[in-house]
Amino acid sequence: MAVDRFDMTSKRHEEYIAECRRIHDRLREISQRTELMAHARCATPDNPNFSRAFAEQAGLLQRLSDLDNQLLR
């Protein structure tokens, strides 16, 4: 019987799901924060808060990608 590459232990799967949820929650917070900045017309690259939000977003998206790659191994 072939083993599906997505087969993993229950604990590993739970950890993966929990980490993904934490990341998605943080991404949602960033989205809400940048939306407020846009409404206040300060969502520009020269705003350090806006730049930090996008840098954090990029890091979180990279972490999601890394988690997916680990899952597929």
Domain locations along the chain: 12-71
Say what the pLDDT of residue 1 is.
36
In this prediction, residue 5 carries a pLDDT of 47
Whole-structure pTM over 0.85, yes or no?
no
Give buried/exposed letters for 38-57 (b at 16+ CB in 10 A, else e): eeeeebeeeeeebeebeeee
Q: Which pLDDT value is given to residue 4?
A: 45
What is residue 7's predicted lDDT score, i.e. its pLDDT?
54
Phi, psi of 7 (to 5 degrees): -70, 130
| Per-residue confidence in pLDDT tens, the chain, 73 aa | 333 445 567 888 888 999 999 999 999 999 999 999 999 999 999 999 999 999 999 999 999 999 999 887 7
